Each structure stands twice: as C-alpha cells, then as structure tokens.
Homo-oligomer: A and B are copies of this chain.
Amino acid sequence: MRIPFTVMKDEIKRVFLKAGLEEEKAEICAFAHAESSLYGVYSHGLNRVARFVDYIQKGWVDVKAEPSLSLSLGAIEVYDGNRGPGILNAKFATNKAIEVAKKFGIGLVTLKNTTHWMRGGTYGWDAANRGYAAICWTNTESCMPAWGAKNNHVGNNPFVMALPRENGNIVLDMAMSQFSYGKLQVTRLKNEKLPVMGGYDKSGTLTDIPGLIEESMRILPMGYWKGSGFSILLDAMAAILSDGLSTVEIDKVQAGSCGGCSQVFMVINPSALSNKTFVENTLNDVVEYVKASTPTTDDGEIYYPGELAAKTCRENKEKGIPVDEMVWNEILAL
C-alpha cells in the first residue's frame, strides 16, 4: 500500500492538531515525519507518529514549550529546549546555526533539555538544501553495550554530516550501532539473517540472527570498539557543548527515548570559504571517484552517502510512500 506524500502529511497533521500542537507547529512536525518516510526512514516517519502522541499524553513532550536562549557567544548559541517537540527544537537550532554561519562563516548552536529529533538526517538535508554544510548529533538514553560490556550503558547517538551539491547533496546519517532494532525486527519477520554480524546472543557469541540479538539486547557498535568510543565522545561532547545532560543523566530522566537529551548543530557556509565553482567541482570529483570504483559484483554499483536516500525519495514521490496498512489504520484512528 502506497500513500501520496501530501495525504500522509495532512493525516499526520490532523493527528498532531488533535494532540494539541498549534497549526504551524503541527504542519512542521507532520512535514518532517512524512518527509522521513518519503526518504525511506519509515521507522522515524509515519511509524513514529503514534509514539510521539503517546509521549505528549504522558507529559514527556510539552507541545507548548519554546526554546529559550541560555547563552550567546557570537559564533555559539546555547538554547534550552524546555522539553518541547524535538523536531521543532532541532529545526529552530538549524535555522539559528544557519543565521550565525551567515555572519561568522560558522555557527555552533546547541540544545539542552530537548526531546527526540526523529530522523537526524532531516537537519542535514535541510541545511544542505539551503547551501550549507552541517555536522549534527544528539545523545540518547543508553541502548547499546560499551565495547567489552554485557549491559547497555552507551547511547546510539546518531551523527549527521551534510554537504550541499547541485546534483545531489552528500549526506551521512548514521547511528552508532551496526543495525537498528528496527532493522533487527524487519529482518526477523522476513526469517532472514543480517548481512553481517549484528550483535551477540545470550551466550556471548557473535551472531547474524536478529532474534537472538533482540533477546540479549547486545547490539554491536559499528566497528566494535570504534563505534563504542565514538558514541562515548559524541555523548560527552554534546553534554559539554550544550551545558546539558549526558546519557547517564538521560537514563535517570525516564521520559521516553531521548527525553531531556543534548544536541549539537554545527553549520558552515562553504561559499564564505571558497568559490561556488570550487565547491561544486570538488564535490563532483569526490562523488565521481567513489562511483568509479570497481564493484565487487558484475551488476554492482557504488553509492555515495545520501544517494540511495535521494533515489528512494524520488521513487516515493512518484509512486507514493509505502506504508504498513496496520500502521496507517492506527494513524487514521488516532
């Protein structure tokens, strides 16, 4: 079943209006959720709408809250998200970072005390679409074991890097685990194995069988010790730069996924640093060199970061966005 973007966006907006969001805020949030589905990140698009509404009803997200300035240092601004909707806070921070970057070449805007920003890529794509480079990340509650550990004391801390390019932005949007729990579930339901090892079973053996990892909750950091270490630094840096909470403190807040989390939005104006032709040529060269690699299979193709997301976006715009009928009916009933 496929649903056109506008139909999906309008339906989500209806739900958000009913949940107490003001007109403009409902529009922005609904657009971001529908856009995530449009780009193929269904887990943080339509499929996340019901949970967001649940968080509002539980008082974990305050639909009336607005970000307030905590500190301004010229090229740096720190805001308190006041537990408002994560998408609105993150969009606000991206806009502010772009404003600051217009003045100083670079803008660092951080958010403390915010809530789940949904798809991290939203803010990278947004900045890139407007001609800016961006590096953004968030910390999260703990949901992954540190390297060498059995239990979860490390967040999954999505990390985004984005560069604007006329023939397709280059955008990396990655979490710190090799696979998300969403991917484990989808793969298990298909009775398939993961393409590579994704975690440990209860006995501590590496496995590519998703159900065994869901049972042990021992998902693997990407690159083993590397993703574990990267995640720890992203967490600590986000807390320090925003004067906000780190993973251990978020765990204590107990207000759903990412309740009270800390986020970083770094935006750079590439045209302040070099001329447009250089930027365009350099990024085209990077893309062409990657794509000119010899594929491992005869019919293989090498993709640059963001290429597949853009392809999915085009397809879903044309054919409609694939939705799970059960999820869609659940939204209609909200």
Report which A residues bind B (CB closer than 8 A): 71, 73-76, 78, 104-106, 108, 110, 133, 135, 142, 145-151, 153-154, 161, 163, 170, 172, 174, 178, 196-197, 204, 206, 222-224, 226-227, 229-230, 232-237, 239-243, 246-249, 268, 270, 272-274, 278-279, 282-283, 285-286, 288-290, 292-296, 300-305
Contact = CB atoms under 8 A, between A and B. Distances in A.
A150 to B, nearest CB: 5
A176 to B, nearest CB: 9
Copies in the complex: 2
Contact of A104 (B75, B145, B172, B249): B75
B153 A290 contact: yes
A286 B247 contact: yes
A220 B288 CA distance: 21
A230 B282 contact: no
Contacts of A226: 174, 178, 222-223, 227
Contacts of A153: 289-290, 292-293
Contacts of A142: 289
**Interface of A (DSSP majority class):** mixed
Given A240-B133, A304-B232, A204 B296 contact: yes
Given A243-B274, A243-B278, A282-B246, A163 B237 contact: yes
Contacts of A76: 104-106, 268, 272-273
B273 A148 contact: no
A170 B236 contact: yes
Contacts of A247: 286, 289
A172 B273 contact: no
14 contacts: A73-B104, A76-B104, A146-B302, A148-B302, A148-B303, A151-B293, A170-B233, A196-B224, A223-B227, A239-B286, A241-B268, A241-B270, A248-B286, A249-B285
Nearest to A178: B223
Nearest to A72: B105
B289 A248 contact: yes
A149 B302 contact: yes
Nearest to A103: B74
Determine which residue in A148, A236, A273, A304 has the highest number of CB atoms from chain B within 10 A of its CB, and name it.
A236
Contacts of A146: 290, 293, 302
